[in-house]
Structure 1
Amino acid sequence: MTGGYPLLVADLIGVAVFAASGASAAVAKRLDLFGVAFVGFAAALGGGIMRDVVIGSVPPLAFADWRYAVTAVVASVAVFWLHPALYRVRRTVLVLDAAGLGLFTVTGTLKALEAGVPAVGACLVGMLTAIGGGLTRDLLTGEIPAVLQREIYAVVALGGAVLVAVLYRLDQARLLPLAAAAALITVLRVFALYRRWSAPVAVP
């Protein structure tokens, strides 16, 4: 999985789950259809746009490839119409966000590495890709971004990016190892939420 169709599929899956996460948050805020679609679009593609600008891939894929925008909008509209069937919206948002975090960490780091970005920089790009969508979603829905709170969020993404960089260095950046890395990031994020792990904060 060093480019081509598998990477595209993983990227579009990440777009869909982050769009669903953003749309679910917008539904919880009782936004209208356009608002839900807009928040879903921004949540799905915000991190990827940041990534592409940083690595010099312009115009960003969000604008250059229609499949990204269509995937984000379709997933958002689907959540808008199907949200009564979703069990406990808040929990759904968190699980979808964790899945998006895992997928976008992997694809963002891998794209940066393939663009020739050194390993340390590629890890930072991967983290930025992963947290950019959630950051945009939270800002648009009036929430304090999760990445700025005590929850373990960006740290998980950064750790996953390091794992992807190691796999790439060992020439193991293939479908199954990278899928396992994305799953591990997702599980760690969900487990951190369940166990209420948090980063230290300054004592007043």
Structure 2
Amino acid sequence: MGTGWPLAKVAALALAATVAGGCAAQENAPQPSATDPIRCGQPLPAPMSVSAGPVFISVNRLERLGPPATIRVEVMLSASSPVETTQPAEVPLQLALLRDGVVVDRLATYRMSPEWQPYDQIAFLDGDTRGAIGVTWTVTPQEPYRVVVEGPGRCDGFDWSVAWSAPAQFELAAFMSTPSGSAQPVTSGGLLGVAIRLDRL
């Protein structure tokens, strides 16, 4: 990870509870469609693993931004042998800020392909068909695939200044469905992901 860029792991809060220290109650937050398994105010639906077969996920750098973007993070997929992953997957590549294991905010705006404009992939799961065109990311040992993800956040009522003032209480997770065309749903197949506590970035 580059100097001057921070990052984080995963954390939680109860669905009907008000997040301590400035997080608003999450039960009234706008929730994604039934096709989206990631929910504000709930834990991630499956465990994360930093590798899946030959593929590894890491966070190279994090830049703190002002609202509404909040942060910009470079996520890297590397592989010990060539692999392809089609995006958007069941769970597109995205970031989640967690407290006590619960999602308090999530971000997924990035270029699906280098020549495209940045697009919010969570909006696609909400039914905005502009994100429906898929692409294949090829990852090889010689050529990792890098994606720069940023906000705005999608969980209503969360104030990022709370996270910056108490970084040891929050984790930032970068994750996606496991690549390689597995037919297993996320709940049984898990997520390719990494999480780091904010004060360790």
Q: Normalization by structure 2: what TM-score?
A: 0.31
Q: Which has the higher contact order (CA 8 A, sep 6+)?
A: 2
Which structure: greater strand fraction? 2
Structure with the largest fraction of helix: 1
